Structure 1
Amino acid sequence: MAYPTLKVTYFDSPGRAEFVRLALFVANIPFEDERLTGEQFGARKQSLPFKQLPTLTVNGEVHCQSHAMARYAGSLGGLYPASDPLASYRIDEVLDADKDVVNALIAALFHPDATQKPALIKDLVENKLPVMLPCIEARLNSTGKYFLGDKLTIADIALYLMWKTLASGHWEGIPSTIMDGYPRWKAIAQAVEAHPRIQEWNAKHPAH
C-alpha cells in the first residue's frame, strides 16, 4: 500500500505525540519523527494552525490535535475501524475518557502556582482519579487480548500509555500503586507492551 508522506512534529519527549508515533510505528507506516527544541518551536509557533504541538504533516499539509491525528493514523494502519460505527464509537469513548484524565493530570501537576500544587495533586489522587479510573475499567468489559477482542486498536495504545504514565512513579504525589485494582486495564496494557513493535520502539527510545 502506498502511504502519504507523513511527519510527526513534537518535542523530544513522549507527551501528546507518543500516541500518534506508536499508532504509525505499530502499523509499519513510514513517518518522519521530527523533534523540536523549545527555541525551534518558538520560531515556528505562529505558523502552526493552533499555535501548538504536536502536528502531523500529510503530503506537506500541516494538521493538529493529537487524537484526531491518532484516528487518522489508525485508519491508515487498520487500528481504527472507521467502517464499523459502533466499534469506532467505543474506541472514541475510551479516547475521550483518556483525554479527561490527561487534562486532570496537567491541571494539577503543571499548575503555575507552586503553593497550590500540593493541594491540587492531593485532590487529584484522593478524589478525582478514584472516580475516573474505575469508570474506564468498567468500560473495558469485552473479552479477548485487547479492548475489542484479539485485534489491536488505537484505544489499546492509549490505555497502555496512560497505564505507563500513572504507574511510573515519576510524578510528584502520584503513587506507582495507583493503578492497582484495575486487572482488565493491566492485562490490556501488558498485552500492548508485549507487542513486538512496541518492544522495538521502546528499545529504540529507552528514555521514554
Structure 2
Amino acid sequence: MPSSELKLSYFGVSGRGEAARLALAIGDVEFENDTFGFGEWAARKPNTPYGSVPVFYVDGMVHAQSNAILRYCGRVAGLYPGCVKHALKVDELMDTTSDVITISGRGSGEGEEKLRAERKKFVDVEIPRYCGGIEKRLEQFGDGPYAVTENLTVADLAIYAMYLMLTSGYLDHVPKDVLDKYTRLTKVCNTVKEHPKVVEWYKKQAEAQN
C-alpha cells in the first residue's frame, strides 16, 4: 500500500473511472474520490494534460489516460499480475473495454437522428464484434470466475465497468439486456459485483449521497 497522497478525478458516472475506483477500494488504498458533474467540465478541462478525464493525482502531480491510471491502481492494490503472460491478457482486455466505451460515444451531441443511427450500429455491429470477442477470449483464458487468473485482476474490473455503462440505461437507445447472451462475460461481472469490497464501496457511496 503506497504512502502517496492519491486523488482520482472523474465524472460522477461509471465510465472510464470506475475500474480504478474499485481497484483502490478493493485494495484498501486510501484515496480522494473527486467526482463532478458534466456542467463543471468546461472549467476543469484546461487543467488536464490532454483535455480528457479521468485524471489521477499522485502527491499533487497530475497523470492521465485511463488504462495507465488503472494499471497503477492495480499494482498498488495487488490486482495487476506480475507474470508478463498474464499481464498481456489483462492489458488486452482492458484495451478492448476502452475501445467499447469510446465507440459508445459516437453520435453524441450530433442530434437525435445521428445518435439513433450510431447507437443502432453500436448495438447491432460493434457490441457483437467487441463483446463477442471478449466472450471468446474469456472462454479461451479459462473457465473460472475471473477473467485471466484464479484471482481478481483489473481486467475483471474493466469488464465490469464497461458492463455497468452498457446495461444501466445511461446510454440512450442501448437496451439494458444488451449483454445478457454473453454468459462468460456476465459471470465475471457477477463475481465482481458480489465481491465484499465492491458491495461495501457501493454501500458507502449510496450513504454519502443521502
Using the size of structure 1 for normalisation, the TM-score is 0.90
Q: Which runs of 4+ in 1 moved over 3 A?
A: 36-44
Rounded to whole Å, the distance in 2 between the matches of 1:30 and 1:98 is 26
Is the CA contact (8 Å cut-off) linking 1:146 and 1:191 kept in structure 2? yes
1:143 and 1:149 in contact (8 A); partners too? no
RMSD of equivalent CA atoms: 1.9
Q: Map of 1:1-208 to 2, 5 A cutoff?
A: 1-38=1-38, 40-81=40-81, 83-108=82-107, 110-141=108-139, 142-206=142-206
Cα 1:7/1:170, change in 2 over 3 Å: closer
Runs of 5+ consecutive residues of structure 2 not aligned to the other structure: none
SS of the aligned residue for 2:113 comes to: coil
Q: CA deviation at 1:6?
A: 0.5
Code of the aligned partner of 1:131: R
Contact 2:14 2:161 in 1 (8 A): no
| Equivalent residues of 2:14, 2:165 under 8 A apart | no
Once residues 122 and 38 of structure 2 are traced to their aligned partners in structure 1, the CA distance between those partners, rounded to angstroms, is: 29
1:20 deviates by 1.2
Q: Is the 8 A contact 1:6 1:59 kept in 2?
A: yes
1:77 deviation in Å? 1.1
Q: Residues of 2 paired with 1:101 and 1:39: CA distance?
A: 24
Match of 2:166, as an amino acid? L
Provide, for residues 76-103 of structure 1, a one-character-per-residue CA deviation record: whole Å limited to 9, x for no partner: 111011x311111000100111011111
Which amino acid letter does the alignment assign opposite residue 179 of structure 2?
M
Tell me the secondary structure at the aligned position of residue 165 of structure 1.
helix
Q: Specify whether residues 117 and 154 from structure 1 end up closer, same or farther in structure 2 by C-alpha distance, changes over 3 A only.
A: same
The alignment-based identity, stated in percent, is 33
Give the unaligned 5+ runs of structure 1.
none
- Code of the residue aligned with 2:93 in structure 1: it is V
**Residue 49 of structure 1: how far off its partner (Å):** 1.4
More contact order relative to length (CA 8 Å, sep ≥ 6):
2
Q: What's the secondary structure of 1:7's corresponding residue?
A: strand
The one-letter code of the counterpart of 1:121 is: R
CA contact (8 A) 2:16 2:54 kept: yes
Larger displacement relative to structure 2 (28-37 or 41-50): 41-50
| TM-score with structure 2 setting the length | 0.89
